[in-house]
Amino acid sequence: MSLTRKRVLVTGGAGFLGSHLCERLLKDGHDVLCVDNYFTGRKDNISHLLDDAHFEAMRHDITFPLYVEVDEIYNLACPASPVHYQYDPVQTTKTSVIGAINMLGLAKRIGAKILQASTSEVYGDPTVHPQTEEYRGNVNPLGPRACYDEGKRCAETLFFDYLRQHRTRIKVARIFNTYGPRMHPNDGRVVSNFIMQALRGEDITLYGNGKQTRAFCYVDDLIEGFVRLVATGDDITGPVNLGNPHEVSVGELADRVIRLTGSRSRIVHRELPQDDPLQRCPDITLARSTLSWEPRVALDDGLTRTIAYFDRMLTERGEGQDAAAE
C-alpha cells in the first residue's frame, strides 16, 4: 500500500501487460483509469477489477485526444505481436506516433509523469550484443516490422523533444520479450504459440533453424521495473532496458515447453519471417544501478505459471485435454 494515493492512467490497460499493471497499481493503493480500444486487449483481462471502486475502464482510441486529470500516465497502447501490428500497419504507426503526441500533450497540460512502453525492436536486428541503451540500432525502415519499430523510434524522439521543449516528466522503458498469463492466445508470439500448440498436441512451429535467440522476462518482473522507473526523480528519463538477461535460443524454448507440458508434440520447421532478429538480449546494467532492479523469476517457473493459465483457458473453452495424458 503506498502512502499517497495517485490517479494513474494506463493506456492499453486491457492488454497483456496493461492488465497486470492495473492490478499492481490498485494493489499499491492508487486510482486507476484504464483506457483501451480493445483492438488486441480483452475485457476478460480486466473483468476481475471492475468491482473495485478505484478502477475505471474507458473505451477510447489514443489516436484521438483525451482530456482527463491524472498524476501519472503509463502509455502502453499499441499492438505488440508481429501478427497484430502487421494486420493494419498504418494504424500501428498512428497509434505509436499520434498516440504519443496526444498522451504527451496530456502530460504537458496536467504536469503528469509519463512512461512510454518502448521496445527492444528499436534496436532492430542488432549488430551489438548484448544491447546497451547507447546502441542506435539496425532497423530496416521499409520492411514489414517497420510500422512498429519506426513508430516506436519516432515515439521515443517525441518523448525527448517534449522533455527538451516543454520539460515534460518523461520515462522511457525499452521492453524486451515479456511473457506470462493473459498473453493473447492467438497473437502468434513464440511463448503463447508454443504453449498452445503443446497443450493441444499440435506440431510446434519453429521458424528458421531455431538458433535465433531471445531473452524472456516474466510479466511480474517487468511490472516491478515499470513501477520503480516511474518512482524515480525527474532526472531519470531513460531510455532504460527492462528485460531478462538470460538468453536462450528459440529451439531451446521449444524443448522446454515440450518438457514442462509433457506434450508429445513434434517440432516442425517453418520459414523464418523477414527481418526476424537473429540475436536479442538486454544489457540491464543501467536498470540494475538506477532502479536496483533485476528479474527474479526463472524461465521454467514463469513458463509453468503461463502453461497453467493457458491450460485453464482451454478447459474453460471445452477444449480441455491433457496432451500429456493422452
Per-residue binding letters, 142-181, with ligand UDP (x by CB under 6 A) = -----------------------------------x----
Task: Pick the binder of ligand UDP from 92, 193, 263, 265 (CB under 6 A).
Answer: 193
CB of 3 to ligand NAD, least distance (A): 28
Report CA dihedral (215, 76, 191, 238) to the nearest 10 degrees.
0
User: Is 148 assigned a catalytic role?
Assistant: yes
Least gap, CB of 205 to ligand NAD (angstroms): 19
Q: How many CA atoms lie within 13 A of 129 on its CB side?
A: 14
What does the DSSP assignment read for 220-289? HHHHHHHHHHHHS-TT----EEES---EEEHHHHHHHHHHHHT--PPEEEEPPPTT--S---B--HHHHH
Considering the candidates 74, 123, 148, 218, report the single residue annotated as catalytic: 148
Please, which of residues 119-178 interact with ligand NAD by CB under 6 A?
A: 119, 175, 177-178
List of residues 6+ apart from 107 with CB closer than 8 A: 73, 113, 114, 162, 168, 169, 170
Query: For residue 298, what is its C-alpha cell?
Result: 526463472
Q: What nine digits make up the cell of 304?
A: 509453468
Does residue 40 touch ligand UDP according to CB under 6 A? no
Closest listed residue to residue 119, CA positions, set 145, 144, 99, 142: 145
**Minimum distance from residue 277 beta carbon to ligand UDP (Å):** 6
Of 55 and 216, nearer to ligand UDP (C-beta) is 216
Q: How many residues bind ligand UDP (CB under 6 A)?
A: 16
- Which x/- pattern, by CB under 6 A, does the window 183-202 give for ligand NAD? -x------------------
Sites of contact with ligand UDP (CB under 6 A): 81-82, 177, 188-190, 193, 205-207, 212, 214, 250, 272-273, 276
What residues are annotated to the active site? 148
